[in-house]
Amino acid sequence: MNKAPEAEILSVGTELLLGHVTNTDARDVSEMLSRIGLNVKYHSVVGDNPERLRQCVEIARGRADVIITTGGLGPTCDDLTKQVLADCFGLKLVRNEEVEKSLYEYIRTGRGLTPNTHQQALLPEGCTVFPNSCGTAPGCAFEKDGKVVVMLPGPPKECRAMFERSALPYLRRLSGEAIVSHSLNIFGIGESAVDDLFADEMNAMTNPSMAPYAKECDCLLQITAKAENEAEAEAMIAPVRAHVLQVLGEYVYGEDVDCIEEAVMKLLREHGRTFAACESCTGGDIARRFTELPGASAFFLGGAVTYTNAVKTELAGVPEALLAEKTAVSREVAQAMAEGIRERLGADLGVSVTGLAGPDGDGVHEVGTVFIALAAEGQIFVRETHMGSTRTRSFIRRMAGNHAFDMLRRYLSGMQVE
């Protein structure tokens, strides 16, 4: 391919059209493709219907170089996607012995045989088979008539894993050049501020290139380089990364990480520390987010969700007199919550959040007023935020959690915390 290849993601599944499931596969695959510089121009979704799928494939082959399908590979859907794609490109489905063998293995380990299991071993002739590390249905890829077709399973975990392990190397090889992309994860400064800081450079750069992207409560700066091989592309990225790090400094919390809590877990592991959380308006979201990460139990001892004053006293030892004097939404109570949970659970570090996530206020503070505290060995830090009453409850909760994780990160990195 000489010009930059363009891709279409075609997702197959009636459940998507009924609104029962969100199309996270298209998001995930798009994000991963953008990292290797492959431009996604269209997403399409169609139901489990061969004729409509066929029409969608015809449209996609007319406007894209790379067609990536998600879904419709499982044994219950009669391998709709493989059959239709193979037909559209004039290929036969043939029995793949290796896949059949591994399916038998899978069945022998007791994970269930369905009447259509055998069909999963039928694959387009001459295709590259992608093994499924989290399920049974294999994916595959082929090139025909100047087009590249990649088929991935629908369950998000299987789709992501197969894309990363099999599809990404396959697509990289095709492009004939190495495209490498890294994202610097940023918290504490907005996307538009990042844009302002680097606007002139970004306009002047073509390869490597640089672009900021807003995420829900933080943002990232993506640096992409194209070269003859990966090492060369990495070498082109290095000075740009160094420059960005010099300008943004402590605002950068990681590189290519999914979320700030992942960066925090890495630091807790490096420094051998544990933490505990005392949450009021975040309602357990800090604990929930951190414990989504496998292995969290080595670093997170536990927490309290203290939705009333009495519970703040009972579970985190916040003095009743302090609550009466300062009210629950105050710097002093945030400090007492963080210190209290740290001591009570015997953790190295304690974080706390207290504030108003709305929609109702307390008649004193504006919705969006949140205090976040970090108690460490002999030190206590507090941030006071005013996110504004136009923010949604869910934004305020997530942003407050990000502040707590950011304070942990900065403390563990020896940076200024407040």
Residue 392 within binding range of a second copy, rule CB under 8 A = yes
Q: Which is nearer to a second copy, 20 or 145 (CB)?
A: 20
Site for a second copy in 204-263 (CB under 8 A): 213-215
- Within a 10 A sphere around the Cβ of 145, how many other Cβ atoms? 8
Greatest Cα pair distance, the chain, in angstroms, is 79
Residue 63 within binding range of a second copy, rule CB under 8 A = yes
Residue from the set 27, 95, 101, 269 that interacts with a second copy by CB under 8 A: 27
350 in helix, strand or coil? Answer: strand
Residue 344 within binding range of a second copy, rule CB under 8 A = yes
**DSSP notation for 77-144:** GTTHHHHHHHHHTT--EEE-HHHHHHHHHHHHTTS---TTGGGGGEEETTPEEE--SSSS--EEEEEE
Q: Which is nearer to a second copy, 306 or 330 (CB)?
A: 306
Residue 33 within binding range of a second copy, rule CB under 8 A = yes
Q: Strand 275-279 vs strand 349-355: parallel, antiparallel, or unpaired?
A: parallel
Instruction: In whole angstroms, give the CA distance from residue 54 to residue 76.
Output: 19
Residue 44 within binding range of a second copy, rule CB under 8 A = yes
Rg over CA atoms, the chain: 25
Question: DSSP character for 292?
Answer: T
Taking CB under 8 A as the binding criterion, the range among 50-58, 143-151, 237-245, 263-271 that sits at the site for a second copy is 50-58
Contact call for residues 333 and 312 (beta carbons, < 8 A): yes
Q: Please list the alpha-helical segments (H only) found in 181-259.
A: 191-204, 230-248
Q: How far is the CB of 295 from a second copy (least distance, A)?
A: 7
Instruction: In whole angstroms, give the CA distance from residue 404 to residue 398.
Output: 10
Residue 19 within binding range of a second copy, rule CB under 8 A = yes
Q: Which is nearer to a second copy, 142 or 299 (CB)?
A: 299
Q: Record the tokens describing residue 146, joined without a space.
A: 């100047």
Taking CB under 8 A as the binding criterion, the range among 54-62, 84-92, 258-266, 368-376 that sits at the site for a second copy is 54-62
Site for a second copy in 148-167 (CB under 8 A): 157
Residue from the set 41, 92, 269, 386 that interacts with a second copy by CB under 8 A: 41
Q: Record the tokens describing residue 272, joined without a space.
A: 């051998």
Q: How far is the CB of 172 from a second copy (least distance, A)?
A: 17
Q: Record the tokens describing residue 170, joined without a space.
A: 């396959």
Instruction: In whole angstroms, give the CA distance from residue 84 to residue 99.
Output: 20
Residue 201 within binding range of a second copy, rule CB under 8 A = no
Task: Using the structure block, give the residue that is written with the tokens 């390869």.
Answer: 207
Task: Lay out the site mask for a second copy across 89-118 (x = CB under 8 A, - = otherwise).
Answer: ----------------------x-------
Taking CB under 8 A as the binding criterion, the range among 92-100, 116-124, 365-373, 385-393 that sits at the site for a second copy is 385-393
Residue 277 sits at the vertex; the CA angle it makes with 274 and 278, to the nearest 5 degrees, is 155
Q: Which is nearer to a second copy, 214 or 247 (CB)?
A: 214
Site for a second copy in 282-321 (CB under 8 A): 282-288, 290-292, 294-297, 300-308, 310-311, 314-315
Q: Which is nearer to a second copy, 83 or 282 (CB)?
A: 282
**Which has the closest alpha carbon to 26: 213, 148, 154, 181?**
154
Q: How far is the CB of 325 from a second copy (least distance, A)?
A: 21
Q: Which is nearer to a second copy, 175 or 389 (CB)?
A: 389
Q: Which is nearer to a second copy, 45 or 387 (CB)?
A: 45
Q: How far is the CB of 226 from a second copy (least distance, A)?
A: 17
For a second copy (CB under 8 A), the number of binding residues is 79
**Which has the closest alpha carbon to 392: 255, 281, 243?**
281
Task: Using the structure block, give the residue that is written with the tokens 């969006």.
Answer: 368
Q: How far is the CB of 371 from a second copy (least distance, A)?
A: 17
Helix (H) or strand (E) holding 190: none
Q: Which is nearer to a second copy, 128 or 395 (CB)?
A: 395
Instruction: In whole angstroms, give the CA distance from residue 340 to residue 311.
Output: 12
168 in helix, strand or coil? Answer: helix
Residue 187 within binding range of a second copy, rule CB under 8 A = no
Task: Using the structure block, give the residue that is written with the tokens 């087009």.
Answer: 147
Residue from the set 159, 277, 322, 353 that interacts with a second copy by CB under 8 A: 277
Beta bridge partners of 12: 46
Q: How far is the CB of 281 from a second copy (least distance, A)?
A: 8
Q: Which is nearer to a second copy, 188 or 361 (CB)?
A: 361
